[in-house]
Chains A and B, each alone.
Chain A
Amino acid sequence: MLRCVERMSEPSEVVTAPAASSAFGAAPSINPPPPSDEPWRFRLKFSGQGGEYFRIWIVNLLLTVLTLGIYYPWARLRRMRYFYANTWVEGGSRTAPTERHALDYLAKPKQMVGATVIVSLAFLAYSIGSRFSPILAMFLGLAVAALTPWVQRAGLRFRLANTSWRGLRFGFSGTLAEVYRVYWPIAIPTLLFAAAVLLSSAGDTMSMGDDGGSMAEGSDGATGDAGDGDGASGNASPASRRAWWSSLSLAGGLMLASIVSGYLVLPWLWLRFARYRQTHYRFGSLHSGFVLTNRDVLRLVMRLIGVSLLAALVVFTLAGLGAWLLADSTSVIQAMPRKGPGKPLSPHWGIFMLLMLVGLGIAFRLVVLPYLWVQQQNVVWSATRSPHVMFRSRVSFGRMVRVDLVNWLLTIVTLGLYRPFAEVAMARLRIDAVSGAFRRDPAGVIGAERDRVSAVGDVGADLFDLGGAF
């Protein structure tokens, strides 16, 4: 099996498009030959156009606003369908001629109307309820968090079950138990946080005994000022005071550990969810697989940190240079507002700090973030392989930066009207970069039993912004 993957791993032999179209000019009644056992290489091609999608988008927008959201299911279907129906899979093997078939998104509006109503009501209850009571807001937030894995799985199931290629629907076979198991590492920072809160509130009650008249301080005792500490522990014995302090510092430590472990757990969670998602795609009897390891993710994180540091270094140099140049021109110094009676900071430093902050923000948004997108797609899809099928993704970082920069600038300049053009440009960049191979001609695939799936997850993932990626 390993040899087969080796053999499949160079998908660049795909017959080019002109050859494909001439093949289709042939006599109509000759069917393609029976599926061969040769590896079947393919690549994806996106054929959408910004101007065309803009017209769909603006009409969707108008009708959705006009109907106070009732048109939303139809709008969403039209949008999804435009992108799916313009995603072509071109492929062939040594013995099978090149074929070219697009994906399609075949959900019915009727399926989505009920789901939209349910999710909208939940959304309304959430946003109204969380306005008046912090406790209610907390519980609603917890409920949303608890439901997130369910929504993610239901969304994937719905989307795949309604995605068709070559007359067959895809499927998603991940179970509910599995998706909840994906998220167990969250328990670590959560338990640490809960322990910290419990400890600090225990410390509070220990010392606050009779202080009912004054306003209760929040649970931020660890960072509270000295006056606060004195007032709170004024009539307590030295021993209980010591206990109070040690429990508070322990709580602070736990809180810190909770935050740190939260960050540490994030890449791991990302990998676990990516693995869950990428191993459960089905096409008939074929299924996908995922070979990304912890070490690969560690390397990805390291690369990301490296790029961030590099970007920071460049910004640092440029800011230094800029501050030095700007500070030389006296007009800028005079324009600098002098704040307060104290000695103002040297203008060099002020300009430098300002340039640094602006530069870091821009570098993060326009360099680091696109790098993360590129890496995520390339790493995840290039690691998606099973005995049946393998993928390769090669999004170019340079082109991503360029496309993203243009998208970002023009979307701002046009007050959002460029948005649909931006979406199409991004889809083309991302989709055209994907190629792959089936172990053998997919024409031999027999469809599986079709699932009945609800659209609630799909709409929920969209409205609550709980899409598959973090």
Chain B
Amino acid sequence: MTGVPVAVDADYFDGRSARSRRVRLDARGGRLVLTGDGFSREVALSDVRWEEVSRAGNRHAELPDGATLQSQDAAGWDRLRQAAGVRDDMAVRASRSWRATLIATVALVVVASGTWIYGVPAAANAVVKLVPASVEQKIGDEAIGSMVGEMLAPSRLPRETRDRITDAFREAVAKSYPQGGAPAWRLDFYRSRIGPNAFALPGGRMVMTDELVELAQGAGKDGDAMLVGVLSHELGHVRGRHGMRGAAQAGFASLVAGLVFGDVSSLVAAAPALLLQQGYSRDFEREADRESVRMLKAAGYSPAVMADFFERMQRRDTEAASRARQRNGQEATAAKEAQAADGAQAKGDAKGDAKGAEAARRDDAASPIARRLQIALSSHPADAERIRFFREAATRP
């Protein structure tokens, strides 16, 4: 370390004035030696803070008392740094080599998908475990409160019907949890603006709409079994605390996206978070479907009733859609024109994108709640996969 001549010219600033002083730097015996015109100073090398170096950027080091050294002689400075035994951390070394950064790019893709699949849900789960049940209950009550009046109105079903469904479900719960330990739940019926639907809120509050009950009752004797199946699905959400987990996941996803893309813009950061969220809520739906099958079987019903139920939903949606088409043939043309306009604008303006999507969903009665809660029993045409799932479950013992 002592033999090689590493002296380099630098500007010395004492940290109190902007005046520079030309000095010559040398590293000798573990000390940095500064000599200049009528000036000399020595500092232990271990007390010098060497800033990271870029190709054409400032060569900069800070001394313990706030004085700084800067040099225009990049090569000399880097030699001195090396002689002084400065070791950059791994991240800095990696960014010096194209090969390392290529590996980093590949690793980034792998790690990002790993974080997507495991990291965010695990973190969200951990956070949700810390939330006390009473807080969760409050959140659920608050959510219901904000929907009553806006989207939900008191039920018009006869009291006996409501009691019969509640009792059937209570019996199914009791049979599915013979040792007890079922999650706490509470079932309310509402007439709604969102068509046939059912959803679970944090804290175990479940809501079923009159329209859903009526739709199931059209199926005759299987009707109650269908409703028990739907409620079991919702209890699956309650059991898995999907509402809270979904919210926490969305929070984490947008947080990570914000930290990663924070320097880009919040719009770019929002897109991956949105994508993540859709993937997660599909997983939640599958989990709830499994719980529905388990409870239906325990209560002595065939899971096939759920497949029938989804088909009824589908039929209703197509009928409603064709009715709507007949009713406003002319209007539809105008609406589509408007949609095309929205879509075109979106190309230039990412905010318009959301608007275009909104327009596309305008007819979808379930969307206001589904969008907000992500846990509603969707009234979209149930996909074939889901129907197959329940049919196959019915064939297994």
Chain A residues packing against B (C-beta within 8 Å): 21, 24, 28-32, 35, 47-49, 52, 54-56, 58-66, 68-69, 72, 74, 76, 78-79, 81-82, 84-86, 88, 99-104, 106, 120, 123-124, 127-128, 131-136, 164-168, 213-216, 218, 283-284, 339-342, 344-345, 353-354, 357-358, 360-362, 364-365, 416-417, 419, 423, 442-447, 462-463, 465
Contact (Cβ within 8 A) B143 A168: no
New A-B contacts (20) at CB < 8 Å, excluding given A28-B23, A65-B111, A102-B58: A30-B22, A31-B20, A55-B95, A72-B259, A86-B56, A123-B258, A127-B250, A127-B251, A131-B250, A133-B142, A135-B142, A167-B68, A284-B18, A339-B332, A340-B330, A354-B344, A361-B346, A361-B347, A444-B18, A445-B18
Contact (Cβ within 8 A) A100 B72: yes
Contact (Cβ within 8 A) A55 B98: yes
Smallest CB gap from A63: residue in B: B91
Contact (Cβ within 8 A) A218 B150: yes
Write the nearest CB–CB distance from B15 to chain A, whole angstroms: 5
Contact (Cβ within 8 A) A168 B18: yes
CB < 8 Å: which of B14, B21, B37, B55 contacts A49?
B55
Smallest CB gap from A450: residue in B: B66
Write the nearest CB–CB distance from B168 to chain A, whole angstroms: 28
Which of A47, A284, A357 has the most C-beta atoms of chain B within 10 angstroms of its own C-beta?
Answer: A357
Contact (Cβ within 8 A) B263 A462: yes
Complex-state Cα separation, A31 to B23, whole angstroms: 9
Contact (Cβ within 8 A) B348 A365: yes
Is B46 engaged at the interface, CB distance under 8 Å to the other chain?
no
Write the nearest CB–CB distance from A84 to chain B, whole angstroms: 8
Complex-state Cα separation, A55 to B243, whole angstroms: 40
CB < 8 Å: which of A29, A81, A132 contacts B37?
A29
Residues 235 to 278 of chain B near chain A (Cβ within 8 Å): 243, 247-248, 250-252, 254-256, 258-260, 262-266, 268
Complex-state Cα separation, A7 to B341, whole angstroms: 55
Write the nearest CB–CB distance from B373 to chain A, whole angstroms: 8
Chain A residue numbers with a CB within 8 Å of B134 are: none
Is B387 engaged at the interface, CB distance under 8 Å to the other chain?
no
Complex-state Cα separation, A42 to B231, whole angstroms: 73
Write the nearest CB–CB distance from B276 to chain A, whole angstroms: 13
Contact (Cβ within 8 A) B262 A462: yes
Contact (Cβ within 8 A) B143 A65: no
Contact (Cβ within 8 A) A132 B262: no
Chain B residue numbers with a CB within 8 Å of A353 are: 337, 341
Complex-state Cα separation, A82 to B127, whole angstroms: 36
Contact (Cβ within 8 A) A103 B58: yes
Contact (Cβ within 8 A) A167 B256: no
Contact (Cβ within 8 A) A81 B56: no
CB < 8 Å: which of B15, B54, B105, B193 contacts A86?
B54
Given the known interface contacts A65-B256, A465-B266, the answer about A31 and B22 at a Cβ–Cβ threshold of 8 Å is yes
Contact (Cβ within 8 A) A419 B264: yes
Contact (Cβ within 8 A) B139 A133: yes
Chain A residue numbers with a CB within 8 Å of B139 are: 132-133
* Residue contacts A-B, CB under 8 angstroms, 6 given: A59-B91, A59-B95, A128-B248, A135-B142, A341-B330, A444-B17
Given the known interface contacts A29-B22, A120-B255, the answer about A85 and B57 at a Cβ–Cβ threshold of 8 Å is yes
Complex-state Cα separation, A120 to B127, whole angstroms: 13
Chain A residue numbers with a CB within 8 Å of B321 are: none
Chain A residue numbers with a CB within 8 Å of B255 are: 69, 120, 123-124, 127
Is B182 engaged at the interface, CB distance under 8 Å to the other chain?
no
Chain B residue numbers with a CB within 8 Å of A131 are: 247, 250, 372
Is B117 engaged at the interface, CB distance under 8 Å to the other chain?
no
Contact (Cβ within 8 A) A168 B13: yes
Contact (Cβ within 8 A) B18 A354: no
Complex-state Cα separation, A127 to B16, whole angstroms: 45
Write the nearest CB–CB distance from B110 to chain A, whole angstroms: 10
Chain B residue numbers with a CB within 8 Å of A76 are: 262-263
Write the nearest CB–CB distance from B197 to chain A, whole angstroms: 15
Smallest CB gap from B192: residue in A: A215
Contact (Cβ within 8 A) A127 B153: no
Contact (Cβ within 8 A) A357 B341: yes
Chain A residue numbers with a CB within 8 Å of B336 are: 339-340
Write the nearest CB–CB distance from A441 to chain B, whole angstroms: 9
Contact (Cβ within 8 A) B57 A86: yes
Residues 1 to 25 of chain B near chain A (Cβ within 8 Å): 9, 11, 13-24
Contact (Cβ within 8 A) A58 B105: yes
Contact (Cβ within 8 A) B119 A166: no
Complex-state Cα separation, A344 to B332, whole angstroms: 12
Write the nearest CB–CB distance from A340 to chain B, whole angstroms: 4
Contact (Cβ within 8 A) B18 A442: yes
Q: Mark B90-108, 1 if CB is under 8 A from A, else 0.
A: 0110111110110011011
Contact (Cβ within 8 A) B58 A133: no
Contact (Cβ within 8 A) B142 A78: no
Complex-state Cα separation, A218 to B149, whole angstroms: 9
Is B378 engaged at the interface, CB distance under 8 Å to the other chain?
no
Is B311 engaged at the interface, CB distance under 8 Å to the other chain?
no
Write the nearest CB–CB distance from B190 to chain A, whole angstroms: 10
Contact (Cβ within 8 A) A164 B72: no
Given the known interface contacts A55-B96, A74-B91, A168-B13, the answer about A124 and B57 at a Cβ–Cβ threshold of 8 Å is no
Complex-state Cα separation, A72 to B100, whole angstroms: 20
CB < 8 Å: which of A28, A65, A120 contacts B108?
A65
Contact (Cβ within 8 A) B62 A106: yes
Is B123 engaged at the interface, CB distance under 8 Å to the other chain?
yes
CB < 8 Å: which of A58, A124, A166 contacts B101?
A58
CB < 8 Å: which of B60, B119, B258, B340 contacts A85?
B60
CB < 8 Å: which of B57, B104, B264, B332 contacts A62?
B104
Given the known interface contacts A29-B36, A339-B336, A364-B349, the answer about A127 and B13 at a Cβ–Cβ threshold of 8 Å is no
What are the 9 A-B residue pairs with the smallest beta carbon separation, nearest first? A361-B348, A167-B13, A102-B58, A340-B333, A47-B56, A85-B57, A357-B344, A85-B58, A166-B18
CB < 8 Å: which of A102, A127, A136 contacts B70?
A102
Contact (Cβ within 8 A) A133 B143: yes
Given the known interface contacts A59-B104, A106-B62, the answer about A341 and B15 at a Cβ–Cβ threshold of 8 Å is no
Complex-state Cα separation, A124 to B252, whole angstroms: 7
Contact (Cβ within 8 A) A124 B52: no
Chain B residue numbers with a CB within 8 Å of A79 are: 263
Smallest CB gap from A417: residue in B: B105
Write the nearest CB–CB distance from A423 to chain B, whole angstroms: 8
Is B180 engaged at the interface, CB distance under 8 Å to the other chain?
no
CB < 8 Å: which of A99, A167, A463 contacts B259?
A463
Complex-state Cα separation, A21 to B247, whole angstroms: 58
